[in-house]
Every structure is written in structure tokens, then in C-alpha cells.
Amino acid sequence: MDKKHFPVVNDISFKWSGQVMEHIDALAYIGKKQGDDNMYVITRDSGNGITHGTLGGMIIKDIITGKDNPWIDIYSPSRISLKAKGIFLKEAGNMTAQYLDWFKESDIKNVKDLQPGQGAIVAEGFKKIAAYCDEENNLHVCTAVCPHLGAILQWNAEEKTFDCPMHGSRFTVDGIVINCPAISDLKK
Ligand code: FES
């Protein structure tokens, strides 16, 4: 946000950010849940919950009343497209490649080189450390190994978080988990 687009704004009091998870074919799942005759789902909203809520009401009503609707197949939770399969395989390869970070050099050589407000991944032998130096020069140190499936985290200087490149888990500078799929904090 800037003065050019919002000239009436004087001070910015609060800032926030959100992460939108995009799925393989970028479309929601709306319709009959696989293997269940009386259960319907509207999911994979990816930031479009209000749109999908409306769309879902129309699609699911048509499924229940037996009315034709071309969107039923498009949004069907049981669809599998060839394109989606290809993207899935590519992403699976990309995820596996993230494990190479175990052999990568440190962002910095020594935690003492960190400036106030800066974080980094530091390697001590085969140990990977997520280190952050706060504005008062206190050091915060956790393991840089993601508790989900063991990928090495990366420092996100913009948000001041440690993020996992594998499936998107995120942690505060003190190692508190703030985004799934990881469900536990980083070990100190
Ligand atoms: S390994 Fe980190 S989120 Fe899966």
C-alpha cells in the first residue's frame, strides 16, 4: 500500500500478510464426496471462499435435485486431469530436490555475524540451525529441521519467519509453528 494509490492514508498502524496455498489445477473441489452418497464438500478455496460458497450452493443444489449443470464435472472432487497428474509429478520431484539443502552451505559462517533484525540458517557440521538476532541483540536459536518431514527451513527476511520450502510450514523466530502442515514447534 502506498500514498500514490491511497492518498487519504496517513500512518500505517498495522500490517499483516497471508499465505494462499494453490493446488495443482487451481480449481476448488465442489460436489459429492467420493465414497459417500449423502455427503457433499466445498473445499480448496485458496482465498476464494465467498465465491465458492455461492458456486457450491448452486452446484450442490443441482446435484441433489438432478438438474444438469456443466460445472458439476468441472468442480467434481473425483476428477483427475492428465495435466494435474503431470504437474503433480513435477512438484513431487521439486519437493524431493529440497532435501539437497542438507548439503548446502550456510547463509552465514557464524551466528555472531548476524545483524540486529536478521535471521539465517547456519550449518555446524551436519547440524542446521535457524538463528535470529533480535533488535536488542539477543540471539534466538532453534533447529532448522522442519518437524513435518525433515526439510531444511529458509529465512524469510520480509516476514521475519523461518519457512519450509517443502510443503509451506512456517515458524516464528522462536520456533513456534504458525502454518501447517507441521503441527509442532522447532526444537530449541
Ligand atoms: S517438510 Fe516442512 S512442511 Fe513438510
Ligand 1: which of 96, 148, 179 to mutate, judged by most atoms within 8 Å of the beta carbon? Answer: 148
Question: Bridge partners of 140?
Answer: 132
Q: Model-level pTM?
A: 0.67
DSSP 137: S
95 lines ligand 1 (CB under 6 A): no
Find all residues with CB under 8 Å of 118, minimum gap 6, and list them: 132, 133, 157
How confident is the model at residue 81, as a pLDDT? 65
For residue 90, what pLDDT is reported?
Answer: 77
Higher pLDDT, 57 or 11: 57
| Assigned CATH topology for domain 100-179 | Rieske Iron-sulfur Protein (2.102.10)
Contact, 65 vs 59, CB < 8 A?
no
CA distances from 72 to 41, 44, 64, 66, 125 (A): 12, 16, 11, 11, 54
User: How many other C-beta atoms are found inside a 10 Å radius of the C-beta of residue 95?
Assistant: 14
Q: Indicate if ligand 1 lies below 6 Å from the C-beta of 33.
A: no
Q: Is residue 164 in contact with ligand 1, taking CB distance under 6 Å?
A: yes
pLDDT of residue 6: 81
Nearest to 84 by CA among 6, 29, 13: 29
CA of 71 to the centre of ligand 1 (A): 34
Q: Which atom of ligand 1 is nearest to the CA of 146?
A: 2
Q: Where in the chain is the domain with CATH 2.102.10.10?
A: 100-179
CA atoms lying within 13 Å on the CB side of residue 21:
14
pLDDT in tens, 127-170: 899 999 999 999 999 999 999 999 999 999 999 999 999 888 99
CA distance 114 to 129: 13
pLDDT digits (tens, 9 = 90+) for 46-65: 888 899 999 999 999 999 99
| pLDDT tens digits, one per residue of 73-126 | 999 998 876 666 677 777 777 777 777 777 677 777 788 889 999 999 998 877
In this structure, are strands 127-133 and 118-124 parallel, antiparallel, or unpaired?
Answer: antiparallel
